[in-house]
Amino acid sequence: MVPLNYYLILSAVVFAIGVIGVLIRRNLIVVLMSIELMLNAVNLTFIAFSRYLGSTDGQVAVFFVMAVAAAEAVIGLAIIISAFRHHQSLDPQEMQSLKW
Amino acid sequence: MNIANFIFYLLAALLVISSLLVVFLRNVVHCAMALVTSLLLIAVLFVTLQAPMVGVLQVMVYAGAIMVLFLFVIMFLNPNALEPQRGGVWWGFATFLSLMLGGALIAFFTQEESAADPVAATELFGSPETLAKSLFSDFVLPFEIASVLLLVAIIGAVVLAKREH
Amino acid sequence: MIVDFAIILIKAALVLGMVLNLAGILGWIERKGSALIQDRIGANRASIFGFAGMGLVNTLIADPLKFLTKEDFIPPAGDKFLHTLAPCMALFPALVTFAVIPFGDVLNWGDRAINLQVANLNIGVLYVFAMGSLGVYGIVIGAWASNNKFSLLGGVRGSAQMISYEIAMGLSVIGVLMVYGTLELQDIARGQGALIGELLPAWLSFLQPFVGWLPAWGIFLQPLAFLLFFTSAVAETKRIPFDLPEGESELVAGYHVEYSGGKFLMFFAGEFAEIVTAAGLVTALFFGGWQVPYLLRDGFHFPWGGALALPHLAVVLLQVGAFTLKVVFFCWLQILLRWSVPRFRYDQVMRLGWKMLLPLALLNVVVTAIWVVAAQ
């Protein structure tokens, strides 16, 4: 069995990759996908701790994170569809100013 | 190096590669498929960590439903034009910041020696019975609130995505 | 250690062989069966020196050769990588799901007790639903990668239909899980060996002479769930009457219009493998799996008192044979259904899934829950 540190390092790496995705991509859908990647990295941390400490609370936490992530993805995509209808583009740079 | 360690290293390498593909591919549908691959790899990692119920939920909910929704929206919006220069002026700085974040986390995690052997797991550790017992006794209030949250999300999505007539 | 590994490999090879061979034979049965129903002869031209071998020449040699030697093209504006990936994603879940379906009880070989099931997961039925939800990708990606409006329309319809019926399928199984009290398919199959007489509560014991001699199969304990599950499973496999995604007369083969040759063979084989998997699930959950009525591990024990002792190997062979017979019966039933019933319109399909099957499945769950509590 690998030590716990290795799992934590793996999720740190995936989390950092997700942060890069959110910051540098100019397509709203890919930004949302990078957010999902970050959520999954956190899930991995929860499950690793749950295993190494012998408590199922981590798995229950992951259950709730998944439910919330599903709700968030649904609303996020609905917002993206709405924004696309208005701006005809998926580039976050073009949605910088509110209507005045 | 025994089989369990080898499997972990293999899964970790594949996971990092597919995460990089999610972030750096040009075609959005390819990014979505790379994310599906990442989710499936994470589900396998869950199963190796004695959490089969959460692993199968990950496949069913995340890879099987949420990503299908992503693909629907991508096909619906049909973004044909390739996106402009990635990130603009700030992409170098942003990448540097993220690498600093990753580095800080890794430095924090390698600070102290963690217990090499995990607590011995019983047969029923990650099974549906244990998770269900926990969910319906200790965590029943968050469970009910989560179901209300999902209902609110459904209603919100239907209202948001309706076409204005 | 090595022997354990070898046993698992042999079981996996056996199950995979059975599913794929049955898929191939079903293609033949479909052609000849539809010919019988439609009062014509069907395919009878393939033969070697006049020897047609009851369809084996066609199934084993002519059909595969025909598919594999056709030109394999990718639409020029389509997505090369995804076009090749989609048939694999369609075939994979159909084959892999069979890993949790038990095809027999234990086989005592030497001092080992081999469980006749490829993988005995503690999550059992949930694995089936997880693999079923992965089956949507084959259609979505296949439709997208073809760069063809008919294809896209068929793909969107197909994936919406599959997602809708996954819900009804999952909910209809919950009643069965409550009655047998476990998620593992092998335990559900074993639980169906009891007689209903042993499960009746005290205040219903007057029913003992009428139904007490029946084995406790899922079809007797959960008839509504069987109907819901069978309908949803047929809808998941996108067979007629739910085959609007393919829509032979409307959509020009829908989401696999731009596929030919080996890739179409994979879609085709995937569809028939899904038929076999649906049949396998129905037998495991509702018809006792490998159970022969009144057959226990040491022989027959009839409820009227007679008994017949049988050697262990005969019992195992009887049970595996019973399983195979039941699976073949349900495959035949699905083929019969295909050629007897007209196709649903798309809005009818959606209405059936959401407004009829889903409330009925929820009602089934509630009634079963009340019954399980009352019967204790």
The verdict on a CB contact (< 8 Å) between A17 and B23 is yes
Query: What does the CA dihedral C271, C275, C280, C283 come to, rounded to 10 degrees?
Result: 160
Q: Distance from C168 to chain B by nearest Cα, in Å?
A: 15
pLDDT value at residue C31: 85
In a domain, B107, yes or no: no
Interface probe, candidates B3, B17, B49, chain A, greatest A C-beta count within 10 A: B49
Which value does ipTM take for this structure? 0.93
Q: End-to-end distance of chain B based on CA atoms, in angstroms?
A: 64
State the pLDDT at residue B116.
58
Is residue B108 included in any domain, yes or no? no
Q: What's residue C216's pLDDT?
A: 87
Which element (helix H / strand E) includes B156? helix B140-161
Who among B79, B121, B161 is closest to A82 (CB)?
A: B161
- Give me the count of residues in chain A: 100
What percent of chain B shows pLDDT beyond 70? 86
Max Cα distance, chain A (Å): 59
Per-residue pLDDT averaged across C73-88, rounded? 85
Contact B128 C79 (CB under 8 A): no
Q: Find, among C313, C347, A30, the residue nearest to B35 by Cα.
A: A30
Confidence band (pLDDT; 50, 70, 90) for C346? Answer: confident
Q: Which residues pair with C51 in a beta bridge?
A: C48
* A42-54 tens-digit pLDDT: 999 999 999 988 8
CATH code, domain with B26: 1.20.120.1200
For C305-322, the three-class secondary structure string (H helix, E strand, C coil) is CCEEECCHHHHHHHHHHH
In a domain, B93, yes or no: no
- Cβ of B157 and A15 within 8 Å? no
DSSP assignment letter at B79: -
* For range C86-97, the mean pLDDT: 91
Among B21, B53, B78, the domain-final residue is B78
CB contact under 8 A, C140 and B71: yes
Q: Which residues of C touch B65 (CB under 8 A)?
A: 133, 163
Question: How far apart are alpha carbons C327 and C277 in whole angstroms?
Answer: 9
Whole-model pTM: value is: 0.91
Nearest-Cα residue of chain B relative to residue C129:
B60
pLDDT at C334: 92
Q: Does B17 touch chain C (CB under 8 A)?
A: no
Q: Which residues of C222-235 are buried (b: 16+ CB within 10 A; e: fewer)?
A: beebbbbbbbbbbb
Give the lowest-confidence range in C14-28, C211-225, C245-259, C305-319: C245-259
- Structural domain count of chain B: 2
Cβ pair B56:C183 closer than 8 A:
no
Q: How far is C163 from chain B (nearest CA, A)?
A: 8
- φ, ψ of residue C106 in degrees (nearest 5): -80, 145
pLDDT-based confidence at residue C282 (cuts at 50, 70, 90) = very high
Percent of chain C with pLDDT over 90: 34
Domain membership flag for residue B94: no
- Within a domain: B161: yes
The pLDDT of residue C66: 84
Whether the predicted pLDDT of C304 surpasses 80: no
Distance from CA of B127 to the nearest CA of C (A): 7
Query: Is a pLDDT exceeding 70 seen at residue C192?
Result: yes
Residue ranges making up the domain that contains B128: 123-165
Residues of A in contact with B163 (CB under 8 A): 85
- pLDDT computed for residue C172 by the predictor: 94
| Domain extent listing, chain A | 27-91
| pLDDT value of residue C173 | 94
pLDDT at site C252: 64
Q: What is the pLDDT of residues B119-145, one digit of tens each?
A: 666 777 888 888 999 999 999 999 999
Other residues' Cβ atoms within 10 Å of the Cβ of residue B116: 11
Tens of pLDDT, residue by residue over C113-159, are 888 888 888 888 999 999 999 999 998 898 888 887 778 888 888 88
Specify whether the backbone of B163 is left (phi greater than 0), alpha (psi in -120 to 50) or beta. beta
B89 pLDDT band (50/70/90 cuts)?
low
Chains that touch C (3 or more CB pairs under 8 A): B
Give the Cα separation of C228 and C231 in Å (integer): 5
Count the Cβ atoms, other than its own, within 10 Å of residue B131: 23
- Do C and B make contact via 3 or more CB pairs under 8 A? The reply is yes
Tell me the average pLDDT across C60-70. 82
Query: Residue B59 is nearest to which of C130, C159, C183, comparing CB atoms?
Result: C130
Tallying the residues shown for chain B, one arrives at 165
Q: Which residues are paired to C299 by β-bridges?
A: C296, C309
Distance CA B91, CA B53 (A): 39
* Nearest CA-CA distance, residue B59 and chain C, Å: 6
C137 vs B67: CA distance, rounded Å: 9
For residue B147, being part of any structural domain is answered with yes
Q: Which pLDDT belongs to residue C13?
A: 94
Neighbours of chain B (3+ CB pairs under 8 A): A, C
B66 and B13 share one domain: yes
Does residue C79 belong to the interface with chain B, where contact is any CB pair within 8 Å?
Answer: yes
Tokens encoding C14: 């056996």
What pLDDT does B88 receive? Answer: 62
Q: Identify whether C245 is preceded by a cis peptide bond (ω within 30 of 0).
A: no
pLDDT string in tens for chain A (100-residue length): 788 888 999 999 999 999 999 988 888 999 999 999 999 999 999 999 999 888 889 999 999 999 999 999 999 999 999 888 888 888 888 888 877 5
Cα C49 to Cα B88: distance, rounded to the nearest angstrom: 71
Q: Which of B25, B50, B78 is the last residue of a domain?
A: B78
Predicted local distance difference test score (pLDDT) of residue B121: 66
Mean pLDDT of C109-116: 83
What is the residue whose two structure tokens read 């060996």? C193
CB contact under 8 A, A51 and B12: no
Q: How far is A38 from chain B (nearest CA, A)?
A: 10
- Per residue in C214-249, pLDDT tens? 888 989 889 999 999 999 999 988 877 777 777 655
| Residue B15: pLDDT over 90 | yes
| B67 and B3 inside one domain | yes
Which residues in chain C are contacts of B31 at CB distance < 8 A?
none
Find, among C95, C132, C18, C42, the residue nearest to C339 by Cα: C42
Residues B70 and B128 occupy one common structural domain: no
Write out pLDDT tens, residues B37-85. 999 999 999 999 989 999 999 999 999 999 999 998 888 887 665 555 5
Number of H helices, E strands in chain B: 7, 0
Q: Contact B128/C123, CB-based, under 8 Å? A: yes
| Arch. (CATH architecture) of A27-91 | Orthogonal Bundle (1.10)
C17 min Cα distance to partner chain B (Å): 26
pLDDT of C253 over the 80 cut: no
Mean confidence (pLDDT) of chain C = 86
